[in-house]
Structure 1
Amino acid sequence: MVLAGRLRVYLIALWIVGSGSNIVNAAGPVAETSTATIVENVSYQNITALPWREADHRFNYGPQSLQFGGLWLPESASADNPAPLVIFVHGGCWLSAYDIRHSYPLSTALADSGFAVWSIEYRRSGDPGGGWPGSLEDVIAGISHIRQLQDFSVDLERVVLTGHSAGGHLALLAAQHNDLPSLDAVVGLAAITDISEYALGDNGCQKAAAGFMGGSSLQAPAAYEQAQISVDKLPSTVSLLHGEQDSIVPLTQSDGFEHHRLPRAGHFDWLHPQTPAYRLLINRLEHYLPEHTP
């Protein structure tokens, strides 16, 4: 499966996690994609500078403006050759400042690698109805919406749910619900699993946890208990991928789960198609979503 094509560059202006700095919004022309350079421990700016293309389809899974998802399809997908589906939940510290657009390069790359991608937008802290538990409710509804994709070249019998950072937290929480469509696996990318511990930290994303939860663990103990990931409640096939150079989500967040820690990989490497982390993600997806045999 080849990563190729002419794609549009979009630079997203967002506050960079923990730094408090800002970038100017900009949009660039169509650019050639290159996979020659292998990079590690990439920055958020590296991610937002990547080329991407618009989703092939966009659907609302609820009545609110942020309750939608984008469907990317690989060129190889057809009625006779439906593509396996990757459901993706973007991160961004649960904050409204970080929307789905920074994950467009990943969705583009995964589609170019042969996967259909259903990437979910949801209400976040700062959005009406966002925060706890609205964000999780949106993600669950967004995942359930894949049942409406049966008319597209998508194989709904080969599905992996994945999420990055705070999106990994929401994806794992959603996977604990029994009424979701059938999943072959759940893959967390630098996922937050213990929000009570995470909220005690002092980086920008850790400080955002209390705002998402509506208070500290002392102020809202029942909510924090509901927002914890329990390995006993998860499907049997769960894998957490974590970079050893991650400065935003501590490695301890993957303790107690089946995990793979990648040396020299940082927090955002999972979103960049020119990193060893992305290669590992593709390897895991191909393992969980093998091609059909005659």
Structure 2
Amino acid sequence: MLPDPRAVLTRTAPVADATVRYGDGPDQLADVRLPAALDGSARPLVVVIHGGFWRDEYDRAHVSPLAADLAARGYPVAQLEFRRTGQAGGGWPGTLDDVAAGVLALPELVAEVLAVAGRPAAVGAPVLLGHSAGGQLALYCARRLPERVGGVLALAPVSDLAEAYRLDLDGGAVAALLGGGPEEFPERYAAADPRQHVPLQSPTVVIHGGLDRQVPPLMSRRYAAAAGTNCQLIELPDCEHFGLIDPESAAWPTVTAALRSLHR
């Protein structure tokens, strides 16, 4: 029997080293993981933005194995949480505003955690690692805050919100995020849709599995083709949606190599 690719969503990981708050709301926070001391070379802060089609039933817990693995590789990591659809203040514009506020605040907050732990380090512009809906949020932040983002690693991102609405991905997920379709709220799609903001300024790597049933691989192909020379597309023909966030999957070495390519 083949293993369940969704098993990573419930896999446990070590408890984070600290939790910091970038706002007063219960979900305006991030879990911080201290980097393992390896070769002494500086690695950028990685802000992990989880997927789950922006819905409140999914939170940052399911990317804990990913975050723990990256910390073991020497990266300071912050697992960003934010208000989601189904929660007060979630959707438009709260979800997007929360992620942008977190990305702005986390370098200083994580530097404070490192200093308290006796691990002072200069934490500059972070790399944003976003999966699925989190990939859309990462690409959105790179467009909104180009000087504050060092790079984007987008894993199976929902990179075209108008198309995702047309395809009715996850049963109305985009409509729940933005309040309706592109004909009803063109200004919201114009602000939030990564496909409408190309070419890119931030160095970006997009990785998509050929067996993905949650987000069509064609969406990433079209996005990367329009995104310009700052965007690299990597397709993994034998990978599905969840293998990209599973440190035990065959896809994981490709993910970590792509991350390294964004800070060499």
Smaller-chain TM-score range? 0.7 to 0.9
1:16 match? none
Using the TM superposition, give the Cα deviation of residue 274 of structure 1 relative to its aligned residue in structure 2, in angstroms: 1.4
- The 8 Å contact of residues 41 and 268 in structure 1, kept in 2 or not, is answered as no
| Aligned AA (1:272) | D
Using the TM superposition, give the Cα deviation of residue 279 of structure 1 relative to its aligned residue in structure 2, in angstroms: 0.9
The whole-number CA distance in structure 1 between the counterparts of 2:4 and 2:102 is: 29
Structure 2, unpaired ranges of 5+ = 225-231
Q: Which moved more, 1:163-172 or 1:268-277?
A: 268-277
Aligned residues: 247
Deviations 1:163-205 (A, max 9, x none): 000011011001102365241x2110000111011111244x2
Using the TM superposition, give the Cα deviation of residue 155 of structure 1 relative to its aligned residue in structure 2, in angstroms: 4.2
The whole-number CA distance in structure 1 between the counterparts of 2:168 and 2:178 is: 16
SS state at 1:200 partner: helix
The whole-number CA distance in structure 2 between the counterparts of 1:116 and 1:87 is: 9
Answering whether residue 194 of structure 2 is matched by residue 240 of structure 1, we say: no
Using the TM superposition, give the Cα deviation of residue 68 of structure 1 relative to its aligned residue in structure 2, in angstroms: 0.1
Equivalent of residue 99 in structure 1, options 55, 59, 74: 59
Equivalent of residue 48 in structure 1, options 9, 23, 30: 9
- The 8 Å contact of residues 247 and 266 in structure 1, kept in 2 or not, is answered as yes
Q: TM-score scaled by structure 1? A: 0.77
SS state at 2:159 partner: coil
1:263 match? 237
SS state at 1:187 partner: strand
Deviations 1:211-258 (A, max 9, x none): 111112222222122221145363241111000000000112212313
- The 8 Å contact of residues 123 and 134 in structure 1, kept in 2 or not, is answered as yes
2:97 match? 137
SS state at 1:210 partner: helix
Answering whether residue 136 of structure 2 is matched by residue 163 of structure 1, we say: no
2:185 match? 220
The whole-number CA distance in structure 2 between the counterparts of 1:108 and 1:226 is: 33
Using the TM superposition, give the Cα deviation of residue 41 of structure 1 relative to its aligned residue in structure 2, in angstroms: 8.6
- Greater share of strand: 1
1:74 match? 35
- The 8 Å contact of residues 35 and 72 in structure 2, kept in 1 or not, is answered as yes
The whole-number CA distance in structure 1 between the counterparts of 2:211 and 2:234 is: 13
Structure 1, unpaired ranges of 5+ = 1-39
SS state at 1:171 partner: helix
> Per the alignment, do residues 187 and 42 of structure 1 end up closer, same or farther by CA in structure 2, a change over 3 Å counting?
farther
SS state at 1:261 partner: strand
- The 8 Å contact of residues 41 and 269 in structure 1, kept in 2 or not, is answered as no
The whole-number CA distance in structure 2 between the counterparts of 1:221 and 1:231 is: 14
| Aligned AA (2:13) | W
SS state at 2:137 partner: helix
2:153 match? 187
The whole-number CA distance in structure 1 between the counterparts of 2:251 and 2:237 is: 9
The whole-number CA distance in structure 2 between the counterparts of 1:224 and 1:114 is: 37
| Aligned AA (2:98) | D
> Per the alignment, do residues 199 and 182 of structure 1 end up closer, same or farther by CA in structure 2, a change over 3 Å counting?
closer
- The 8 Å contact of residues 244 and 266 in structure 1, kept in 2 or not, is answered as yes
2:77 match? 117
> Per the alignment, do residues 110 and 206 of structure 1 end up closer, same or farther by CA in structure 2, a change over 3 Å counting?
farther
The whole-number CA distance in structure 2 between the counterparts of 1:57 and 1:129 is: 25
1:127 match? 87
How large is the RMSD of aligned CA atoms in angstroms?
2.2
- Identity over the aligned pairs, expressed in percent? 32
Answering whether residue 17 of structure 2 is matched by residue 64 of structure 1, we say: no
SS state at 1:199 partner: helix
- Greater share of helix: 2
Equivalent of residue 175 in structure 2, options 199, 204, 210: 210
SS state at 2:74 partner: coil
| Aligned AA (2:133) | A
